[in-house]
Amino acid sequence: MSTVAVHIHPSQFPASVEAAFCESLDRRRMNHQFHYSTPMQSARWLRVHEAYSPARQDDSCLAAYEHAFAATADGIGNGPVTVVGLGCGGGQKEAALLRALLRHSAALPLRYVPADVSPGLALVARAAALATGAVQAEEVAPVVLDLAATKDWREALEGVAPGSARRIVTFFGMLPNFSPNQVLTQLSALLAPGDLLLVSANLAPGSDYGAGVRQVLPLYDNAPTAEWLFAVLEGVGISTDDGRIEFGIAACPEGSGLQRIEADFVFQRANAACYAGRSWPFGAGDRFGLFFSYRHTPERVSALFAPFGLALAGQWLNAGGDEGVFLLTRSGMITS
């Protein structure tokens, strides 16, 4: 078996990872990257994804992605194309996109950059891409980086995804886990003229936004998700006997008008988290923010991106209205 070259961004160098984890404990809010750091955590996340994600359980959601990929393949034109999967996870969606591009033109030169905070997931995504037959092994460049801690995504990816080829940037399942201003600034700076951006968003179904958010809360407030989220505290000496995970709904701190689902660990007795020779004490009643996920609507997605120079070129929703795929460009038009 041959070895695989994996590009490690400085945000994932050991000193950077240690500093980011300590910062999470200082702030009492976990950096989301640490829910995917170990093979065990990645496996737990994949189980949650398989059990609760509409993209894995809903045929109409799969159809929405297929329609989005077909439109993207039709609009990208001819010539070299690089697919950049930001937060690629297991890479199933990007693999489907690569198959759509292959159907568009078997001679289309393709390159794929699966980028994830987890080395294991980046390699799983690489394997999924190679299984499509759309891209050769030498044209797949896995990248391990922490998007939340990387100040300039364009600079970080320039060496593996240069702007000389047209790029399709995917941002699947990631929009809910970033503050709106942070992620939109980065995506706007990353995209060059002619690039296409595919974003998925978890949606609040129905005409009543608040009621829609409450309707999807059980997709998060369940035992497998709690088990996955708790693993990061278990690794620093916190026990399930020390407290419980509470799920709830809160308003966006940036005042965007969005609501997000949050998961906090609430301590019922005193204990301390221990990491890198330091200790962080917690008392009964203290809360530790483990996770948040914003819920959008199609109208809110378009309104969020427009001020950053990114216009909606197409959208595809599942039948239940709780997941959508959005194609964005700098001009709002798909051109060859």
pLDDT for residue 332 is more than 50: no
Out of 2.40.70.10, 3.20.20.100, 3.40.50.150, 3.30.300.210, the CATH code matching 29-203+309-329 is 3.40.50.150
User: What does R_g of the chain's alpha carbons equal in angstroms?
Assistant: 20
120: how many CB neighbours lie within 10 A of its CB?
18
What is the rounded distance in angstroms from the CA atom of residue 310 to the CA atom of residue 94? 21
Q: Which long-range contacts (CB under 8 A, 24 or more apart) does 50-54 make?
A: 51/224, 52/219, 52/222, 52/224, 52/225, 53/173, 54/318, 54/320, 54/322, 54/323
Task: Judge residue 170's burial from the number of C-beta atoms within 10 Å of its C-beta, 0-12 exposed, 13-18 middle, 19 or more buried.
Answer: buried
pLDDT of residue 293: 94
Give whole-number Cα distances, 116 to 91, 142, 190, 325, in Å. 10, 8, 16, 20
pLDDT of residue 55: 67
Instruction: Name the residue with tokens 């950053």.
Output: 308
Q: What is the mean pLDDT of residues 235-254?
A: 95
Q: Which of 12-26, 162-176, 232-246, 256-270 has the lowest mean pLDDT?
A: 162-176
**pLDDT per residue over 85-108, tens digit each?**
999 988 999 999 999 999 887 667
**pLDDT per residue over 50-83, tens digit each?**
887 776 667 899 999 999 999 999 888 778 899 9
Domain boundaries, the chain: 29-203+309-329, 209-295
Residue 168 backbone phi and psi in degrees, to 5: -110, 110
Crossing angle of helices 92-104 and 59-76, rounded to 10°? 50
